[in-house]
Amino acid sequence: MMKKLAGIVVFMVGLLLFYGVSNVDDFPGWGDPDSPANASPLSQYFITDTIKDSEVPNMVTAVLADYRGYDTMFETVVIFIAGIAIFAVVRVSRNNSPVCGGNKDDEPDLIITTTCRLLVPVIQIFALYVLAHGHSSPGGGFQGGVIMGASFILVAVAWDLDTALGRFSEKAAIACAGLGIIIYAGFGLASMFYGKEFLNYGITHKLLPGVASPEMARYYGMLGVEVGVMFTVTSVMFLIYGLLSTRGRMSGGL
C-alpha cells in the first residue's frame, strides 16, 4: 500500500519535471548562451572582470574564495560542525566497548605497505599542488583537502587506524579542523584592521610584504583562505573515516 502511494508520488514528480524540462518555450535549450542563468549580468561579470579584480585566471576559485567568501566560510563551518557532530554521536571510550574489526595481531601485508609507503608522499605533494595551483588550474582548498585526507585514510587502510593516528592524532585532527576556520576568519579580520569590510582581502597588501597591489593581495588572500579550507576538510575527512570505520572507538578498525 505504502509502496504504491510512494510510486504514485514519484511518478507525479517525474511527470512534472519531464514537463518542465521539455517545455521549449519556458525552459532554455541545451547550452543556450542567452538563458537567464548564463546571460545574467552577474555571471558575465565573473567571466570578464575576475582577472582585472584579482589576477586569478580560474574564475571558479575567484568566485568561491572572494566574491562568495562568506558562503565558502560558512560551508567550511558546516563541514567542521558535521565532523564535530559525528564525533559527538558515535565516539565511545576505548575501555568499555566491545572489540570490533580485524584481528590486531595480523601483520599488514608487505606488498601493500611498501606500495603505500611510496604512494603516500606523492599523494600529499599532489594535494599541496592542487591547493597551491588552484588559482590557475582546476583545484583549490576543498579538492586538495579531500586528496590530503585520502592519503591519511590510505595509511589507515593499509596498516591500521592506530598507525594513521600515530601520524595524525585525533586531537590534532580536531585542532586542525578548528584551525582551518580560524585561518579563514583571520584573513577576514585582517582586512578589517585596515578599515575595510570583513573578507575584503584587497587591503591586505599593506600587511603582506612583497605584495604590491590590491589585486595581488586578493590573489594571495584567496590562497590563504584556501589553506584554511584545506586544514578543515583534511581533518574532517580523516575523522569521518576513523570514527565510522571503528564505530567510534578510534582504535583497530578495518
With binding defined as CB under 8 A, does residue 33 bind another protein? Answer: yes
Nearer to another protein, 13 or 189 (CB): 13
Which of residues 1, 2, 110, 111 is near another protein by CB under 8 A? 2
Q: CA dist 102 to 63, 221, 244, Å?
A: 46, 46, 15
* 147 in contact with another protein (CB under 8 A): no
- Closer to another protein by CB, 86 or 185: give it: 86
- Cell 605533494 sits on residue: 125
Q: Using the rule CB under 8 A, is 254 a contact of another protein?
A: no
Count of residues that bind another protein according to CB under 8 A: 70
Between residues 53 and 162, which has the closer beta carbon with respect to another protein? Answer: 53
Output the nine-digit C-alpha cell for 48. Answer: 570578464
Radius of gyration of the chain from Cα atoms? 23
Question: Which of residues 86 and 119 has its CB atom nearest to another protein in the complex?
Answer: 86
Footprint (CB under 8 A) of another protein, residues 39-68: 42-44, 46-48, 50-52, 55, 57-60, 63-64, 68
Q: How many residues appear in the chain?
A: 254
User: Per CB under 8 A, does 7 bind another protein?
Assistant: yes
What 8-state DSSP symbol labels residue 201? G
21, 15 contact by CB (below 8 A): no
Per CB under 8 A, 94 contacts another protein:
no
**In angstroms, how far is CA 102 from the centroid of its own chain?**
31
71 sits near another protein (criterion: CB under 8 A): yes
For 68-104, give one letter per residue: b (16+ CB within 10 A) or e. Answer: ebeebbebbeebbeebeebbeeebeeeeeeeeeeeee
208 binds another protein (CB under 8 A): no
Residue 146 makes contact with another protein by CB under 8 A: yes
d(CA 131, CA 149): 13
H-run or E-run covering 94: none
Residue 145 identity (one-letter amino acid): G
- Which three cell numbers mark 44? 558575465
Q: Which of 127, 129, 140, 192: binder of another protein (CB under 8 A)?
A: 140
State the residues that interact with another protein by CB under 8 A: 2-3, 6-7, 9-11, 13-14, 17-18, 21-22, 27, 29-33, 35, 37-38, 42-44, 46-48, 50-52, 55, 57-60, 63-64, 68, 71-72, 75, 78-79, 82-83, 85-86, 89-90, 136-138, 140, 142, 145-146, 210, 212-213, 215-216, 233, 236-237, 240, 243-244, 247-248
